[in-house]
């Protein structure tokens, strides 16, 4: 049973972690570096050095007796006896140059404190058997946890696995272009089959943005980056729910479109469909007959934010597919690098080039997207050049160092701060992350029922996004218990603790009138038009998994299709929310 509420400060004072020094041969050689030990666990680092370059690695770590549990953030751990643990590289840290030093943070749980008796790296003894002596690392290359989890998470009152499955169904309902043979949304069909660029380029595919049918590239790319991030870092949450293949398909549907839209080194289509023309139509995507122009950025009409965000999405996809589809991973990475060079070498806001986007998804700046893209490419390549670039952007754009007020399709500041901490272990980035999560947890506005309220537009989108960031912070050892509890509390509000479910097709009294044109239309060939927007009848089709905008600061909400502030749905609404759901599942 989890220890929460007023008991936690009391127990913390009794069983407060204390700094320790490891003993034994592996500790004496600097390979094991313990940080804190509490009543039934410890946080430590495993420090290894690579004498030659590798593209993958495996460590075997043996304890002197069985553990009750073990967890790490920089490797894939497995064991058959809870004594010998095999650590295989994570997708983002397999490539290591000669002389590289890697510090792998881990938590070990036990009934009596263990010692590490031996460590091997790729079959070569490092300690415990007279192996090569390794000096302690000169500087951390991976995060140093400052507050690892000490308590098991509380039982979940809602079926998070069902939520994850249905959220992925929502993305399938948002697909544009020719649908695959395994389409699971029976009321959807092929649509926007004539989407073309200025020179006839094929621009079919991708995702419709929200309840409308425009393909807005900027928020689409942001959604894919966040979805891929969750699929990488919370892979076991997806796996446990049986959704690993589906989330990869969802990401690939977006990145396939980005690759198709990248028609030249400095030519990228960032929008299909005119916003005003589209919003003058209420009906099925399959029935659209208006002109759907393609809008692009070029060297003469740049968009650093759009190109940078798309580069980040493709680099994240490169990490996600590195093991399962290395050829596709390489293709994504090639486009990511080209788009980053375009973004950095030709500076400008994308709405100055794609004028229609400014009416709907105007960008506040591009410094965060440049840093975001560089950090993601570094994660995909381990090329120091890109990490140096990312660090340089923190110096060039001072707002990257401040406390963000949100994490969203427009503002990646909180995300890039967390990613940089994850990649470097630099405490300055960690301080930025804790400043943000402490603020949303303790100081940000709240509704009477406890919802963090950051914006009237998509209030629950922001709830899901901050939960995702703080779960990521917890995973990387930052105030883990507090941030995990906070994220679960916020997600439970969405799923029912707020008085009802705000996820279509899930839980108690879910929305049935989501502001979504396609779901509001009856089956063809029945006509569909503006009457379907204004009727009080439930949508004929259940838009499974869609997160609606949500209530106001007083928890007030009406399931009204005409209220697009509270009842619209969007791809970016679900991205962080879905990742957070997977993050909670990964704790179990």
Please state the separation of Cα 176 from the chain's center in Å. 23
How far is the C-alpha of 196 from the C-alpha of 532, rounded, in Å? 29
Beta-carbon contacts of residue 335 (< 8 Å; ≥ 6 apart): 258, 259, 262, 311, 314
Backbone φ and ψ for 87, nearest 5 degrees, come out as -115, 110
Catalytic residue among 33, 305, 356, 568: 568
256 is catalytic: no
Q: Is 150 left (phi over 0), alpha (psi -120 to 50) or beta?
A: alpha
How far is the C-alpha of 230 from the C-alpha of 241, rounded, in Å? 14
How far is the C-alpha of 114 from the C-alpha of 54, rounded, in Å? 30
438 is catalytic: no
Catalytic residue among 212, 406, 481, 485: 212
Determine the pLDDT at residue 139: 36
Determine the pLDDT at residue 150: 60
Neighbours of 28 (CB within 10 A): 12
> Which parts of 47-126 fold into alpha helices (H)?
none
Which of these, 165, 168, 195, 340, lies nearest to 257 by C-alpha position? 195
What burial class does residue 71 get, using C-beta atoms within 10 Å of its C-beta: 0-12 exposed, 13-18 middle, 19+ buried?
Answer: middle
What is the token pair recorded at 400? 């990257």
What long-range pairs does 439-444 form, CB within 8 A, spacing at least 24? 439/403, 440/466, 440/470, 440/486, 441/470, 441/482, 441/483, 441/486
* Cβ 17 vs Cβ 37: under 8 Å: yes
Catalytic residue among 213, 346, 515, 516: 515
Determine the pLDDT at residue 89: 86
515 is catalytic: yes
What burial class does residue 522 get, using C-beta atoms within 10 Å of its C-beta: 0-12 exposed, 13-18 middle, 19+ buried?
Answer: middle
Catalytic residue among 34, 278, 309, 559: 559
Domains and CATH numbers, the chain: 7-127 (2.60.40.290), 160-586 (1.50.10.10)
Determine the pLDDT at residue 106: 87
Torsion on CA atoms 474, 479, 482, 488, rounded to nearest 10: -10
What is the chain's pLDDT, residue by residue, as a tens digit (588 residues)?
Answer: 333 333 333 333 333 334 444 456 788 788 988 767 877 788 888 988 888 777 788 899 998 888 888 888 778 888 888 889 999 887 677 778 777 888 888 888 888 889 898 898 988 888 875 333 333 333 333 444 445 566 667 789 999 999 999 999 999 999 999 999 999 999 999 999 999 999 999 999 999 999 999 999 999 999 999 999 999 999 999 999 999 999 999 999 999 999 999 999 999 999 999 999 999 999 999 999 999 999 999 999 999 999 999 999 999 999 999 999 999 999 999 999 999 999 999 999 999 999 999 999 999 999 999 999 999 999 999 999 999 999 999 999 999 999 999 999 999 999 999 999 999 999 999 999 999 999 999 999 999 999 999 999 999 999 999 999 999 999 999 999 999 999 999 999 999 999 999 999 999 999 999 999 999 999 999 999 999 999 999 999 999 999 999 999 999 999 999 999 999 999 999 999 999 999 999 998
534 is catalytic: no
């Amino acid at each position: 049973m989890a220890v929460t509420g007023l008991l936690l400060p009391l127990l913390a004072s009794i069983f407060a972690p204390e700094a320790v020094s490891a003993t034994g041969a592996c500790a004496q050689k600097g390979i094991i570096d313990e940080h804190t030990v509490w009543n039934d666990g410890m946080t430590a680092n495993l420090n290894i050095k690579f004498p030659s370059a590798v593209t993958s690695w495996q460590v075997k770590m043996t304890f002197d007796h069985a553990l009750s549990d073990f967890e790490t953030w920089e490797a894939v751990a497995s064991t058959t006896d809870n004594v010998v643990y095999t650590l295989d590289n994570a997708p983002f840290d397999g490539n290591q140059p000669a002389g590289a030093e890697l510090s792998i943070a881990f938590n070990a749980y036990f009934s009596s404190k263990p010692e590490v008796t031996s460590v091997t790296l790729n079959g070569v003894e490092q300690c415990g058997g007279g192996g090569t002596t390794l000096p302690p690392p000169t500087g951390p290359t991976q995060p140093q946890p400052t507050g690892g989890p000490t308590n098991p998470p509380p039982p979940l009152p809602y079926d998070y696995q069902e939520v994850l499955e249905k959220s992925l169904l929502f993305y399938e309902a948002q697909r544009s272009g020719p649908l695959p043979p395994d389409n699971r949304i029976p009321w959807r069909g092929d649509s926007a089959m004539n989407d073309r660029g200025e020179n006839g380029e094929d621009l079919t595919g991708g995702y419709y943005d929200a309840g409308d049918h425009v393909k807005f590239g900027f928020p689409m790319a942001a959604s894919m980056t966040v979805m891929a991030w969750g699929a990488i870092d919370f892979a076991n949450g997806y796996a446990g729910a049986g959704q690993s293949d589906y989330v990869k398909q969802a990401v690939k549907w977006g990145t396939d479109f980005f690759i198709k839209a990248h028609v030249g080194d400095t030519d990228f289509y960032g929008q299909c469909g005119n916003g005003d023309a589209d919003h003058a139509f209420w009906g099925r995507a399959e029935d659209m007959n208006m002109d759907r122009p393609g809008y692009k950025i070029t060297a003469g009409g740049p968009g650093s934010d759009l190109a940078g965000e798309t580069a980040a999405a493709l680099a994240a996809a490169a990490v996600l597919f590195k093991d399962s589809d290395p050829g596709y991973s390489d293709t994504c990475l090639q486009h990511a690098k080209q788009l980053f060079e375009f973004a950095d070498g030709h500076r400008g806001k994308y709405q100055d080039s794609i004028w229609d986007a400014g009416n709907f998804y105007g960008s506040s700046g591009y410094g965060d997207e440049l840093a975001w893209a560089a950090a993601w490419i570094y994660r995909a390549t381990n090329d120091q050049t890109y990490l140096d670039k990312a660090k340089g952007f923190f110096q060039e754009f001072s707002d990257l160092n401040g406390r963000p007020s949100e994490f969203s399709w427009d503002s990646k500041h909180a995300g890039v701060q967390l990613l940089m901490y994850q990649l470097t272990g630099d405490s300055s980035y960690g301080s930025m992350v804790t400043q943000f999560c402490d603020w949303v947890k303790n100081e940000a506005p709240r509704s009477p029922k406890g919802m963090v309220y950051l914006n009237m537009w998509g209030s629950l989108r922001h709830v899901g996004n901050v939960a995702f960031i703080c779960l990521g912070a917890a995973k990387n050892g930052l105030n883990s218990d507090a941030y995990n509890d906070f994220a679960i509390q916020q997600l439970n509000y969405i799923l029912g603790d707020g008085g009802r479910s705000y996820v279509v097709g899930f839980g108690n009294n879910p929305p049935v009138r989501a502001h979504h044109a396609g779901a509001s239309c009856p089956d063809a060939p029945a006509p569909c038009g503006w009457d379907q927007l204004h009727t009080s009848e439930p949508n004929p089709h259940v838009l499974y998994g869609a997160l609606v905008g949500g209530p106001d600061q007083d928890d007030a909400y009406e399931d009204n299709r005409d209220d697009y502030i509270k009842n619209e749905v969007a791809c970016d609404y679900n991205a962080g929310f879905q990742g957070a759901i997977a993050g909670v599942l990964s704790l179990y």
